[in-house]
Every structure is written in structure tokens, then in C-alpha cells.
Amino acid sequence: MKKGLLHQLIQIIMDSIQKLGGNVQPLELERIAVMVHQVMFHKSRLFHNMEHVFSFLDSPDPIVALAALFHDLVYLQVDAGLPTPLTDLLKPYIRIEGTRVVFLPPAVESREFRLCCSLFGRDPYTNPPAPGGLNEFLSGFAFCELFKEKLSTLHLASVLLCIEATIPFRGVDSEGRSVGEVLEARARFAFPEVPFPTIQHMVHRAIGFANRDVQDFSNPDTGAFLSNTWKLLPETNYALRERGAYSIREYRIALYNMLKFFRSLEPERIFHSYRGEPSETEMKNLQETGRMNLALSIQYLRAKLLAVSILEALALLSGGEAPMALFMGDLHATATDSVCLIRFLPDIPFPPWLQEEHPVVRLLRDGRLEESSFDLRNSPFALWLYKRLRPEEWGRLANGMELFFKGEISPVDFLMLFPDSSKPQLKGPLAEILKASIRMVPTRSGSLQAFLEEGFHST
């Protein structure tokens, strides 16, 4: 008989503590497990939740198990501060003001706090602390507060190294040291009496744990990679938690921020190696798969954003900002008689310049691997644009949309990038989109009809 998640948590913590020779009273163990369970089921957690935690738990290593349970315990931006159980735990040491953290005087007096500062490379007297890696630091400190005097200091440090290593997307430091080399130096300084092979094992474990945390980037199926990535969007964009009630602009901002993030990400900063693990060949394969996923995801996001940008421009010109559902139809409308934009657009065969089995085309047509709480799996309007526009037209509009997003060109100037957009009695793809929008949005049909008959004119 399969246990529920809370009972599994209790069992995992109990087994890990026993393997490490620690001691936790049953009711105290229950309290810890309930706290983790409550935090991971916080309403904001859509990716950094129990499913993510349990993806690590195929290892018999108790240090890995504990690091998995606690490495994402604090996520200030997602939870809009600290959930109540963590507030009660950490209030003697820190004050949270939204996402701003202030260390209180008792923190510096705490041996566990100083251990965290040592292994995370933080100055305990710096206030407010630097934001980079702060979630991981506070997660580690919360873990230490829960398990101090229950585990040895070296076991606490082993878990802390794993949590620190999950601070993502770092390259070499100012001295040219890799993440693993930095962790090695900090651990040797904190534990000068510990034999080097033990330190080396601790760091190897931490680097392996960190690589596991970003393993989605090594998935050869970009659809699966994007499915998990899509779960991050409503975590950091509160409006998208409202399912079909978010606006076109809110949806666009979320996708555009993800596009900018992917563009900024260097594949060499995703995965780490320490003293030959993973090997040079393995690292090369990981980086190449990460590079492929980034490239395909960037193109996929640009395709989706182009579709959104056209609707945003039409909304602004016809009456102002609008819900996405007003122009696109209800989310997950699958019935053949459902009112949605794509049903009012003409069917387009695949043109000779478009490969039907290109990975991005397949993603737009068939969708990401999993359903999303706020978005369709597939992207029929974005695919329609791919098929309807010639490559040079698509490229011109895709470049123009970013100028539109930045406010460097007006909605009219953006739409005038469509061919023949200034002529009366519009024809072509923009006319087809306008006709479909007139049928979708009868409250704005007058303005949209005027554009269809008169064309667009630069202001």
C-alpha cells in the first residue's frame, strides 16, 4: 500500500537520521516533516514543490535525501516572503520585509549561522545581505536550525554544501576557481582537521547534487524541458495563477522575461565538474544538450511572442489592454464548436519553406509534453503565423515586436511591418487576423473593422 506524501516525508527523514547516527524524537520528527510538507504545498509552489523534491530521492545517500528535502525550502520571490512555519523558525535571527532580509544580532552569535556563512562565503556582519543565493542560504540555515544537536557538525556541513552548490548558473570566480574548487576551499577552511579525501567526497556529492537540480537542461526532448520550465512561469508571475483571467500584456511580459533569461544564459554555466566528475566527455555532452534546448526554446518563445504581440497591438489600438481570453477564447477550449481565434482563421497548408518535422514546428503543433495550468500545450496561432508568413516577413515582424515591447515603436508602426498594411481594404495575413478578431471580439468590432477598411497609418 502506497504511503501519502507526508508519511513518505516522515519515513525519509527518519531513515536519513538513523543512517547518519543522529537522534530525533518522534514528535519532533513529525513537526519537521509537517513543516516541509506545508511549505512545499504553499499555493505558490508549482515547480519547486514535492514533485521536484522527490525527483532526487532515488539515491541511498542520506545527505542527498536531506539536501533534496530542504534545498528549496525558502523561496522569497515565489512565496512573497516566508511561509508562516519558516517565519516562526527563523524570527529570532532574521527580519523579512517583503523579499528584503535583515540579519538580527542573535544570528551572529549562532554557531549554525556562522557555519552557513563560512560554507556560503558570506560575511555574517554584512547587512542587508547580498541577494544572490539568499534563498539557498536561508534554506540551509533553516535546515541547521531544525537539526542542530541532532546531527554532527560535519553532517550538517555536508548537507549545506549540497544546498550551496544549487545556487545556479555560476562560472569561475574572480580568482579563476570553479564552483567545486571554491566549495573545497571553504570546506577545508571550516574543517582543517578533516582528511582531504573526506572533503573531496563532500564536494563531489555537492556538485553531483547541483547537476541533478538542473537536469532538465540535459533532457534530449525539448518538449519535456519546456514543460518543466513552463511551471516556473506562474511561480514568478502572480497574474498567471489566475488561469484565463490574465491580460495579454501580463502573459507577454512573462514570456518575454523568460526569453531574455534564456538569451543571457551560457551553457557552460549550467553544469559543473569537480576533479574529473563528470568527465570532460560527459560535460561536453551536457553542455551541447543544454545549448540545443536553449536555442530551440528561444525560437519557440519568439514564435509565441510574435502571436501575442499582434494581439497586444490590436488590443491597445481598439480599446486598450484586454484579457487574453477576450481575443483568444477560453483556456483549454477543445470542443469543435468552441469560440476561439484559430477557428476563424483560414486553414493554411505547410509552405515549401517550412519543415513539418522541425523541432520548433513540432512544439508549436503538438505542444509541450505536459498540460499547463494557465496555457495551452500547443500554439495554434503561432504555428499559423509560421505557415502564413514568408521567412523574411516573419523575421521582420519578430525583430519589430521587441522594439514594440521596449516602447521604441508604436503599436501602429509595429503592425505596419505587415506587407501592404497601410493600404485601404487590407488583404493578406493582417487582414485575416483582423477578420478573425472582429468575430472574436464583437465589443471592439467597430474599431477593428475601420482598420480593415482603411489600413494603418504611421503617427
So what's the pLDDT on residue 75?
86
Express the helix, strand and coil content of the chain in percent, nearest 5 each: 60, 5, 35
149 contacts 242 by C-beta, under 8 angstroms: no
Is residue 130 exposed (0-12), middle (13-18) or buried (19+ Cβ within 10 Å)? Answer: exposed
Using 50, 70 and 90 to split pLDDT, how confident is the model at 43?
Answer: low
- Per-residue model confidence (pLDDT) at position 56: 72
How confident is the model at residue 199, as a pLDDT? 98
Burial status of residue 315 (CB atoms within 10 A of its CB: 0-12, 13-18, 19 or more): buried
pLDDT at 428 over 60: yes
Q: Binning pLDDT at 50, 70 and 90, where does residue 335 land?
A: very low
Residue 78: pLDDT over 90: no
The cell numbers describing 418, all together, are 505587415
Q: What are phi and psi of 24, to 5 degrees?
A: -135, 130
**Average pLDDT for 63-86:** 88
* pLDDT tier at 334, thresholds 50, 70, 90: very low
Reduced to 3 states (helix: H, G, I; strand: E, B; else coil), residue 277 is: strand
Transcribe 185-229 into DSSP letters. Answer: HHHHHH-TTS-HHHHHHHHHHHHHHHHHHTGGGG-S-HHHHHHHH
Residue for cell digits 566528475?
Answer: 277
Rounded CA gap, 44 and 423, in Å? 48
Cα–Cα distance for residue pair 444/427, rounded to 1 Å = 20
Which pLDDT belongs to residue 243? Answer: 59
49 vs 74, residue with greater confidence = 74
148-170 confidence digits (pLDDT tens):
999 999 999 999 999 999 999 99
What are 325's three cell numbers? 481570453
How far apart are alpha carbons 285 and 288 in whole angstroms?
5
- The overall average pLDDT reported for the chain is 90
Q: Which residue has the higher pLDDT, 215 or 239?
A: 215
Whether 4 and 60 have beta carbons less than 8 Å apart is answered as no
pLDDT digits (tens, 9 = 90+) for 251-300: 899 899 999 999 999 999 999 999 999 999 999 999 999 999 999 999 99
Nearest to 185 by CA among 115, 118, 111: 118
Give the model's confidence band at 237: pLDDT under 50 very low, under 70 low, under 90 confident, else very high. low
C-alpha cell at 394: 516573419
Give the C-alpha separation, 67 to 142, whole Å. Answer: 12
Q: What is the pLDDT of residues 360-397, one digit of tens each?
A: 999 889 877 666 555 667 899 999 999 999 999 999 99
pLDDT of res. 331: 62
Using one digit for the tens of pLDDT, what is the confidence trace for 79-137? 778 888 888 899 999 998 766 899 999 999 999 999 999 999 999 998 889 989 999 99
Q: What is the pLDDT of residue 337?
A: 57
Exposure string of 366-401, with b = 16+ CB inside 10 Å and e = fewer, is ebbbeebebbbbebbbbbbbbbbbeeebbeebbebb
Please tell me the distance from the alpha carbon of residue 179 to that of residue 165, in angstroms, as a whole number: 7
Nearest CA to 34 among 91, 83, 75? 83
- Provide the β-strand partners of residue 247: 323
d(CA 413, CA 377): 31
Q: By mean pLDDT, which of 101-105, 120-124, 234-238, 342-346 is the weakest? A: 234-238
Reply yes or no on whether the pLDDT at 212 is more than 60. yes
256-261 contact pairs (CB < 8 A, 24+) = 256/305, 256/405, 258/229, 258/232, 258/233, 258/301, 259/298, 259/301, 259/302, 259/305
Of residues 411, 446, 421, the one with CA closest to residue 248: 411
Per-residue DSSP letters for 30-84? HHHHHHHHHHHTSTT-SSSSHHHHHTTTT---HHHHHHHHHTTS--HHHHTS--H
